[in-house]
Amino acid sequence: MFFVDFPRQIVIGILVYLTEMKKIGIITSGGDSPGMNACLRAVVRTAVHHKIEVIGFYKGYEGLIDNDAVNLTTTSVSGIIQRGGTILKTARSARFMKEEGINSAAKNIKDLGIEGFVIIGGDGSFRGAIELSKKINIPIVGCAGTIDNDLVGTDFTIGYDTAINTVVEAVDKIRDTAESHDRVFVIEVMGRDAGLIALRSAIASGAEALLVPEMKNDIDILLKKIKNWRSSKSSKIIIVAEGDEYGGAYKVGDLIRKTCPEFDVRVTVLGHIQRGGNPTCMERVNASLIGYNAVLALKNGHKNEMVGIINKKICFTPFEKAVKHIETLDRDLLNMIEVLSS
């Protein structure tokens, strides 16, 4: 029996070895976000555990076009789980928007014998992945990495939790001076197309109002509200998402000055401070889970999908669907702000 089975087992073993993925590529792409390093670490260490070699490309699609590659090992990702930014660097690649750039990236992937690919990034990066997948027939999986939290298919993108905590810390500080001087503060937060950073940070910082791209004509409501503020109200914080239709915090500040000259108005734009800093605990855990599952997904045959977490469960969303922006904000949260900020 042993002599009959032995060669069969060897044949099966060889077949399994031949069909198993042995080399994957990875980039971090688009705007960096805290937690990208934790995700990268999880991808590399999970791959190494499964005897898969990992090639990293610097500066996102730029490095892929130029073949600016590095072999990533367990030690390459030591000591990075707590660091903001991305050790692989990142870029918004204009060259990858053109046929020539995509062809060059696809050729480099083929020449290096890469059999699967992981992209840590946001909607622009996943749009790039869709184009890349038309040129190479290898599975690509995405790890949702952006501070904006505007991808469909995950409760929280990598970077969002840290960014909103950064905003809340800054608004708490601004509140001290705002209340001391009885001033109205208009604070601009990031979110070109989405008001999700504004929404949660407004709730957590106890802001009086918010302006977001998802809601139209909210300025009229805001101005009316300001007019009716009770005189004893010392907190007057308005959070504005940068993508809001009224053109950012400075324009909103001017409008308030014109309509309500009785108020002393100041404007603060928080800017890129929101993209940096050490990832929060929740960020590190989620980023690790997403990176770990990205490798398992490649091994299990997932293709052109984003890995996300919904209700604590890992889930997969095709890139085409993931990049559709979240167009409505949670009504319950908006209503709650109205009540709590009275």
Residues that bind ligand F6P (CB under 6 A): 30-31, 92, 122, 146-148, 190-192, 242, 275
Collapsing DSSP states into helix, strand and coil, what is residue 8? helix
- In contact, 48 and 143? CB cutoff 8 Å: no
- Measured from each CB, the residue nearest to ligand F6P is 31
> Which one-letter DSSP state was computed for residue 181?
H
Residue 176 known to be catalytic? no
**Which candidate in 66, 111, 123, 148 is catalytic?**
148
Least distance from ligand F6P to the Cβ atom of residue 150, Å: 9
Least distance from ligand F6P to the Cβ atom of residue 212, Å: 13
Tokens of 5: 């089975």
DSSP string, 93-162: -SGGGSHHHHHHHHHHHHHTT--EEEEEE-HHHHHHHHHHHTT--S-EEEEEB-TT---TT-SS-BTHHH
Nearer to ligand F6P, 244 or 305 (CB): 244
Least distance from ligand F6P to the Cβ atom of residue 33, Å: 7
Nearer to ligand F6P, 123 or 208 (CB): 123
| Distance, CA of 241 to CA of 91 (rounded, Å) | 23
Nearer to ligand F6P, 194 or 238 (CB): 194
Amino acid at 8: R
| Distance, CA of 197 to CA of 31 (rounded, Å) | 15
Least distance from ligand F6P to the Cβ atom of residue 28, Å: 12
Nearer to ligand F6P, 248 or 318 (CB): 248
- Residues that are catalytic: 148
